[in-house]
Structures are given as structure tokens and as C-alpha cells.
Structure 1
């Protein structure tokens, strides 16, 4: 039987291939953005992975768009990204100078029917979908306990974690740590994952995770200084929907490997299925760029072709690996396919997570 996750993995694998073959738009149909300023709205603070992703792409997008407009990244944090997403939902297409950057923390409230959500992905026009990964890490003293006694050695420790909210992308690590049997107390309300890293650096938190771009830029220096030790990467999906090692961090175990080695964690059953469904929705197409509702095909094609031209640059692999990691960057039909995979989860997984959120954190979604 074909499962949701195997279908999603196959879709994304197909999307990656499709993204390399999208037809180019004739120049006479492209927008002319000469002298314009493009505002790229990011619904998070300037310290997290979405900021690094957008700031990486912004100057490249300026070069690739017709007329070489200035691309300015604007940060609009609040309510775990729903504030910025609701704002974007209220905009109508005008002249192609406003785009929006979504993340898994924007997708999850949508998937969970969060009452604060006033946005509809089906109204927007996707022009880029970026995969990513995530890495969990510990301070050196707790990593030494883990090295000596395995996960069991951490079960008597009390952990503090800086979180944007249980219905955001943080759902994936929170559920993972509970599956491992850890006592992790989240401090909710931070505006971006970079703020969680700063809590870790100041000793206010003793467990953390970052998406790949933030880990590469913000945590690797801590690892090199000996104040942080990587534990595991969440992983990636193979063509059959199985969790395998993250290609950006091939020397780190995946969460599936860590779970299999832990005494009370299982890689089958309803809890695993729920975790895997939300991991699939949150990471393989974790960040996306949209034009607002009403965008004409010429505008969609202009941005699609610009992002495709960026990813086809001879130097793209070299300049992106250290900033973004090694993940699919999808455009055209590929991005649309990835969007569909990222904005749906099986009803059973949705129901399990909604009940877990209510029982564990008192989060009632109605």
C-alpha cells in the first residue's frame, strides 16, 4: 500500500526533476521592474533561518529579475508568523513588487486549523520551494552524559527549550523529544529560531534545534568553540518515504536512528506516523516564495524564471551549500507539487497532534 509519506517523497523527487526543466518565458512577456523596489515579507525576526534564506536569495533575485530591481527583506514577526501571513493574505496583486516568504511554522498552524489563521495557501502563487533539514544539539556537559550512557542518561535531566509555539515547526522537535522520553519544558513566545539559539548561548536553554541554514551559520561556530555539540539531524526522505540521513549532515544520525536506539521510542505506530507526517509537511518543502492573490501569469513566470536562473547558475552549488545546505530548490510545476505536499497531512496524524497539543500543552484549536 502506498502511504502518504511515500507519495510525498515521490512527489518531491519528481518535483526536483521537473524544476530543472521548466520552460523559459519569452522576454517580451516578462515584467519590467527597472527602478522598482521589491519588498520580500518574512513573518519572523531577523535572527532565524528564514532571514538567512531570504538574505541569501535577495541579491541574487535582484540580479535575475528583469530591470534588476532592489530587493528588500522586511521582517514582520508576531504570533508565530501568522501575523505576517494574515497581512499578506489581505494584499492583492498590484505590480509585482511584493512577495512573501513562508516557512514550516506558517504551514503548521494552517494544517492544524489554528483559529488565528486568516490565510489560504490556495490563494497564493508559489514561485520557489526550498527544502531544508534540522539539527538538534546540546551543551557540552549534557552531550558528555549522552555519550557515556545513551538517551537513558538524559531522562533524569530537566531541559529548557526556547520555542515559537507548539503549533509551529517546533512541533517536530517537541514531539521527537517526548518520544525519546526527555523532560523538556518549552518557553513559548520567541519570535524566531535564532532567538532560541541566543537563549542557548546565554545558558537560558539547554536543548535546541535549528533549521540547516541557521545551524550552518549560527551553531557551527558554537560547535567549533566547544559550547554546543550536535546530537542528530532530523533527516531526509528517500523515494519510499523512509527517513534517511540528511545529505547536508551525512555524518549525523537521523532521528529515526536515534529513536530506534532509544528504549521507549518506536519507528512505527500512531505516534511515529504523526511525527513523520508533520516532518514531511514541514521540511522537504519548508520555505516557499509567493506572489499574492490575483497575480497574472506573466508575473508568476517572471519570478519563476528568475529563481530558476539563480539555481542554474554555474556557481550556485558552491555559494548555496554553506548557507542553505544540500536540498532541492524547486520552481514551476515542481514548486506547485511541493506546495501540495507541504499543505496536507493525513486526518489521523492531524487528529493525533491536535489531541496531543491539548493534553500536553493545553493548546485547544477550535
Structure 2
């Protein structure tokens, strides 16, 4: 697997973000959050889908949290969002003043026994996800690859961030379906891959959420080809695009591909650290549920070309737990095909 590294300039995080410890609950939730600032740690560079949704939530969620704290987004790209996830799990204050978003497939990586993952995905305090839509693998219109069958005949470079879905999908397709994707990793985020695809540096993108690519207008304008969608049911506007797990007639392979597809039910997760006092976690979840049901939030999302298909924090927790309960045999076999970076 080739590696492409691109240096990006980021701002320096404040000292308060560099160390943290659990803080015991004191007073009411409103008293705790009044006058506070919550940091929203985003595991990718600016401009991509995770970043867009996280910033949207950051602008609105504080209005629904008792005490109305300000929420400040901070990008912490690196290692396919694992840098941010590891910071939130291991370093950040465990008091409800740090939220974040990271790759939806962290639980699958854990189920596969990824030893580089220094966290327990079930230990985060899940707040909710503003959107749940399938991921897709796309190619640029000039790539010469319009279908999965084309990808079996023609080798093209596919951009990826690293050991996330953006490299996992093309890797597993190469191994099980015989495609010939040349996976170029190291891009800080999805927006960087988009620029690389437009400039001809790569010919496609290994994974992008359908909710993020639709507003670009590329599909309607014929600028991209959607080769496959990754999910457990088809998108209403992609009924002619095959689901990944449907591309094999082998039952064992289908089980493996369904596991790989399961994280789409997690969408763009917003979570907090482990060990947040229960009343604060519940307040954050209640605030999220109220926010995504508010017509003002839905309109604000639409103005940015973002759809709102919410998943509650309780649902996210249940999905993560279900993934982690996967048969060790199926998870181990998936792990044999995927090399996390």
C-alpha cells in the first residue's frame, strides 16, 4: 500500500487540552455548564463531512444544554482520526467539557483486535449522530472506471486518509472481489482527497458519506461515478448502485461484508469522554435530541446542503455494543484482510 503524506498547518491547541483528569460532579448541570466552554475535537482536517457536521452541531448544541455553554470546534487530524479519539479517551478532562467526532469504524477495528487502538469504543459517552447515510466509493468521471467490473480490469489510484473506511473498502474489494485499486493513503481529510481527485492526483475516493457528496452536485453533473454503496439497505436515490455485501454469493464473505458495512448505522458520531457524570451525559443527550428535532436546526443544516437523519446516543451505544459482540471468527477474518495504519 503506497503512502502519500501532505503537510498541513494547524493551530496549536491550548494548554488546557493537553492534560486532563476526571472531575467529580458538583452542583446542578446548569450550574456546571453556566459560563463554561466545551471543546469539540474533530478528528479530521477542515472541510470534510465529519468536520461539517461537527461544526454544525457546535454552533447549535449549546443552545439546548442547561447553562448554554459555548462550544468551540478544534481540528485534530491524524491517523485517520485516531489521534483525536485517543486524546478524548485517554487525556481529555472526563467532566463533559470535551466532545468530539471520529471515524465511525472504530468499533469494527476494535472487534478485529487492532492492537494500535488504545481505547475501548464502548467506553465513550455517545451523544448522538446528526446524520446516518450510506458510504460510497466514487471515481472521477475522467478515470475510465465507471463500475465495479471496470475496476477489476483497470488499476486506478484511490485516495484515503489511512486505516479508516477510506482504505478499508477498496482493500477488501481488492481481496474479495478482484478489483485493482491502488490505495494512496496519508491525506488529512476528505476535503483533501476531493481536491486531489479534481486535480488528477488520484482517480477516486475510497469512502465518502453520501450525505456529504450529494450537496456538491457532482453526481447530477456526471462528474463522479458511484461504484458501490456501503450500508445494510440502499439509499432511495441510489437504487441502481449495488450494496457491497450483495456483490458476493459466498455466505462467509457476505457475513464479513455486512460487519464492514454495519458502522454506517453510526453515521457522524458525536461523543464525550468516558466517566462523565450520568446526569451530565443525559443532559447532553437530551440537548442533542431536542436540537435535531428543532426546525431551525434542520433549516440551518439544509442551508449548508446537509441532511439530518439523526441517531440518538442510546442507539449509537447499542450499535457499538452489537459490533463489539461480533463472532470472533468473523471479526478475525475481516482483520486478516484489513491492515489498519
Query: Same fold by TM (over 0.5)?
Result: yes
Q: Are the aligned partners of 2:82 and 2:102 in contact in 1 as well (CA < 8 Å)?
A: no
Distance 1:95 1:270, change over 3 A: closer
Alignment of 1:228-247 (within 5 A): 228-235=224-231, 237=232, 244-247=233-236
Partner residue, 1:103: 103
Specify whether residues 356 and 283 from structure 1 end up closer, same or farther in structure 2 by C-alpha distance, changes over 3 A only.
Answer: same
The residue aligned with 2:258 is: 276
Pairwise CA distance, 1:92: 5.6
Does the Cα contact within 8 Å between 1:77 and 1:83 map onto a contact in 2? yes
Larger relative contact order, structure 1 or 2 (CA cutoff 8 Å, min sep 6): 1
Within 2, Cα distance between the matches of 1:364 and 1:60? 34
Q: TM-score, normalised by structure 1?
A: 0.74
What CA distance in whole angstroms lies between the structure 2 residues aligned with 1:103 and 1:178? 22
In 2, the alpha carbon distance for the partners of 1:297 and 1:189 equals: 38
- Residue 331 of structure 2 is matched in structure 1 by 350
Match of 1:215 in 2: 213
1:21-49, Cα deviation, whole Å (9 max, x unpaired) = xxxxxxx6545423322101112222322
> Residues of 1 paired with 2:218 and 2:340: CA distance?
37
Q: In the TM superposition, what are the counterparts of 1:22-171 in structure 2 within 5 Å? A: 29-30=29-30, 32-91=32-91, 93=93, 95-129=95-129, 130-142=131-143, 146=146, 151-166=148-163, 168=165, 170-171=167-168
Instruction: Decide whether aligned partners of structure 1 residues 92 and 319 sit closer, same or farther in structure 2, where only a CA change above 3 A counts.
Output: closer
Relative to structure 1, is the Cα distance of residues 127 and 63 closer, same or farther in structure 2, using a 3 angstrom cutoff?
same
- CA distance change for structure 1 residues 109 and 364 in 2, over 3 Å: closer, same or farther? closer
Residue pair 1:31, 1:299 contacting (<8 A) in 2 also: no
**Cα separation, 1, equivalents of 2:124 and 2:164:** 22
Does the 8 Å CA contact 1:132/1:212 hold for their aligned counterparts? yes
Instruction: Pick closer, same or farther for the CA change 1:254–1:155 going to 2, 3 Å.
Output: closer
Residue 340 of structure 1, CA deviation: 1.6
Give, in whole Å, the separation in 1 of the partners of 2:95 and 2:213. Answer: 36
Partner of 2:242: 254
Shift of 1:51: 0.5
Which of 290, 300, 303 lines up with 1:309 in the alignment? Answer: 290
Cα-Cα RMSD? 2.9
1:329 counterpart (311, 315, 318): 311
Deviation sequence 1:180-210 (CA, Å, 0-9, x none): 4321110122222222222211111112231
1:4 counterpart residue number: none
Q: 1:60 to 1:287 in 2, by over 3 A?
A: same
Deviations 1:154-202 (A, max 9, x none): 4331110111224545313432355443211101222222222222111
Residue 4 (structure 2) aligns with: none
Distance 2:61 2:259 in 1: 32
Secondary structure in structure 1 of the residue aligned to 2:153: coil
**Counterpart for residue 186 of structure 1:** 183
Say whether the 8 Å CA contact 2:170–2:181 is kept in structure 1: no
Alpha-carbon offset, residue 306 of structure 1: 0.7
- Aligned residues of 1:92 and 1:293 also touching (Cα < 8 A): no
User: Residue 223 of structure 2 corresponds to which residue in structure 1?
Assistant: 227
Equivalent residue number for residue 195 of structure 1? 192
Task: Please give the TM-score of this superposition, normalised by the length of structure 2.
Answer: 0.79
Report how far residue 324 of structure 1 moved: 4.3
